[in-house]
Amino acid sequence: MILIALAAIAFRLATLVVSVSNEKRLKAAGAVEFGAGNTRLLAIAHTVFYLAAIAEGVLRGSSFNGISAAGLAIYAFGAVALLLVLRDIGPQWTVKLIVSPGHRLVATGLYRHVRHPNYVLNILPELIGFALAMHGFATLLVGLPLYCIPLWRRVRQEEEAMREKFDAY
């Protein structure tokens, strides 16, 4: 169970390195960040969700079983979706809501089929899968709805930013 947690944290930290690098480049080119306060709230919620699921698993004395395997499969689906989002968005991808002067609207790959694949196909399966893998059932039942509040706000902020930037959005 600890190896799953460490691998998930390492994967998330690796994507954060990509995000920070992209953010620096975008801001140097004149990009503007939207919803910074909500982004901080999402980062805190993500961290607390992970820590709560891990703590719950440790306190339960959980061991790997069928529920963990199902959770790991759901988590892996979300991780693959994130890699596809990274491929589709490329250097525009960050964990923050940043729009650059040269920002291009992506309508290929996953974005051709799903309006917000980073949230729907990555973040939600990631959290559900991680909680199940850790046997964090209370974290899932309480934490996921709470997480969805700033996530829903992020989607609204992103929709607004994209409508302002692109007439075709």
Domains and their CATH numbers in the chain: 2-165 (1.20.120.1630)
Predicted TM-score of the model (pTM): 0.93
Q: Which two tokens stand for residue 14?
A: 């690796």
pLDDT of residue 119: 97
pLDDT of residue 117: 96
Scored b (16 or more CB within 10 A) or e, 92-123 reads bbbbbbbbbeebeebeeebbeeeebbbbbbbb
pLDDT of residue 103: 87
pLDDT of residue 167: 82
Q: Which residue(s) pair with 32 in the sheet?
A: 99
Q: Mind listing the pLDDT tens digit of every residue in the chain (169 residues)?
A: 899 999 999 999 999 999 999 999 999 999 999 999 999 999 999 999 999 999 999 999 999 999 999 999 999 999 999 999 999 999 999 999 999 988 888 989 999 999 999 999 999 999 999 999 999 999 999 999 999 999 999 999 999 999 998 887 7
Query: From the CA atom positions of the chain, what is the Rg in Å?
Result: 17
